[in-house]
Copies of this chain bind each other. A is one copy, B any other.
């Protein structure tokens, strides 16, 4: 894509009330735009990053049998009344609205209630189980304050997976599969080494749930970590009983600031009982379906990756997350320069390497600054000098080393 056909621009400014580094960087680089606090639009470069993350997650959730759907934002209140979560005192982040007829509606803060209700159409017998259903869908949460950029949104994108089973045992086996899938996902996203499976509070059906917590200064959670044993505990369950249970010593734990990027939860029959989601078991008995839920904060991950993969010059995207792989800096507009740019651009595109071609009439310093701020993995420079020498300038975003390569070998190197 030529930058001249991209409507966004980088900027030195960001909203004065924006304190979080992720939002500052992503706004300055033209990836997102702030509608209100905690509510951000995704601009072309940000949408590409979001889609790349989504595709990585989708692959591993499909691999564990997930069926992708897309549920609605508008929610009938009936199932929420049945589960007891319609009350603002129980669910304190509701956005509510009304039909012109006066009927109350909610804006989905999560989707357990409508999905459990819907599944009554599809689950009747043990033969219909297990079932694994997920979506990438917007959630609405009326947070009192939203100050961490994409880390705490009032409107945000989540991957929410729900599983339905005949028994707790079957759900526990699936629970382990999801843990493995999540480890793979966070590794692919480049944060495997700073993301820890963490014990958090459970519910009626299990002592603990699990969170995936990523170390970051913008995180709102406090986690206690045994780095040797690779076990982490969320502050909310940090007590002597938990330490005993896990065989840990308080003195050996390190306190860390983290952000929750995923969670894994045994719901049991918390929703299936009040909402009447039952199945006939092999023994002919009617039983409530046993459920689990498994979330990943997708737009939150955009923010977290921006925090983690950045330096004082801007963003530093990994290859598989970057909106484009190559930032091609064109310096000058002589015919020979244009021809060389076009050839490199076409060759890379033909090899499936995406290129953002900076074809603007701007000073070199502006182009280099934007290349650093936007943070694509590879920067190429084509100028009068490089054309005369028959070389192309090459620099990785993660390095200060500038190399000169001939065209063919460079294209083959990048396309690998």
- Listed in ascending order, the chain A residues whose CB lies under 8 Å from chain B are 5-9, 11, 30, 33, 35-36, 39-44, 47, 50, 65, 67-76, 95-101, 105, 107, 114, 118-119, 121-123, 128, 131-133, 138, 140, 142-144, 154-155, 164
Quote the shortest CB–CB distance from A241 to chain B (angstroms).
35
Residue of B nearest to A11 (CB): B121
Q: Is the CB of B76 within 8 A of A36?
A: yes
On chain B, the residues within 8 Å of A50 by CB distance are 70
Enumerate 22 A-B pairs (CB-CB under 8 Å) in ascending A order.
A7-B123, A7-B128, A7-B133, A9-B122, A33-B118, A33-B121, A35-B71, A36-B76, A41-B71, A41-B118, A42-B70, A47-B70, A50-B70, A73-B73, A73-B107, A73-B138, A74-B155, A97-B97, A99-B142, A99-B154, A100-B143, A101-B144
Q: How far is the CA of A140 from the CA of B105 in the complex (A)?
A: 12
Q: Is the CB of A72 within 8 A of B35?
A: yes
Residue of B nearest to A48 (CB): B68
Q: Is the CB of B43 within 8 A of A69?
A: yes
Residue of B nearest to A111 (CB): B41
Further 15 A-B residue pairs, CB within 8 A, beyond A7-B123, A74-B154: A5-B65, A7-B133, A9-B121, A9-B122, A33-B118, A35-B75, A36-B105, A44-B67, A44-B68, A44-B69, A95-B98, A97-B97, A99-B142, A100-B144, A107-B107
On chain B, the residues within 8 Å of A36 by CB distance are 74, 76, 99, 105
Report the copy number of this chain in the oligomer.
Answer: 2
Q: How far is the CA of A328 from the CA of B307 in the complex (A)?
A: 48
Q: Name the residue among A73, A96, A101 with the largest chain B CB count within 10 angstroms.
A: A73
**Given contacts A74-B140, A74-B155, A155-B74, A69 and B41 within 8 Å (CB-CB):** yes
On chain B, the residues within 8 Å of A76 by CB distance are 35-36
Quote the shortest CB–CB distance from A344 to chain B (angstroms).
22
Q: How far is the CA of A97 from the CA of B108 in the complex (A)?
A: 13
Q: How far is the CA of A140 from the CA of B95 in the complex (A)?
A: 14
On chain B, the residues within 8 Å of A95 by CB distance are 74, 97-98, 105
Q: How far is the CA of A67 from the CA of B30 in the complex (A)?
A: 13
Q: Is the CB of B41 within 8 A of A72?
A: yes
On chain B, the residues within 8 Å of A96 by CB distance are 97
Residue of B nearest to A8 (CB): B122
The 7 A-B pairs with the shortest beta carbon distances in the complex, nearest first, are A7-B131, A41-B71, A42-B70, A95-B97, A35-B72, A44-B67, A97-B97
On chain B, the residues within 8 Å of A122 by CB distance are 7-9, 30
Quote the shortest CB–CB distance from A323 to chain B (angstroms).
11
Q: How far is the CA of A100 from the CA of B122 in the complex (A)?
A: 37
Q: How far is the CA of A284 from the CA of B96 in the complex (A)?
A: 48
Q: Name the residue among A70, A98, A123, A154 with the largest chain B CB count within 10 angstroms.
A: A70
Q: Is the CB of A140 within 8 A of B99?
A: no
Quote the shortest CB–CB distance from A8 to chain B (angstroms).
6
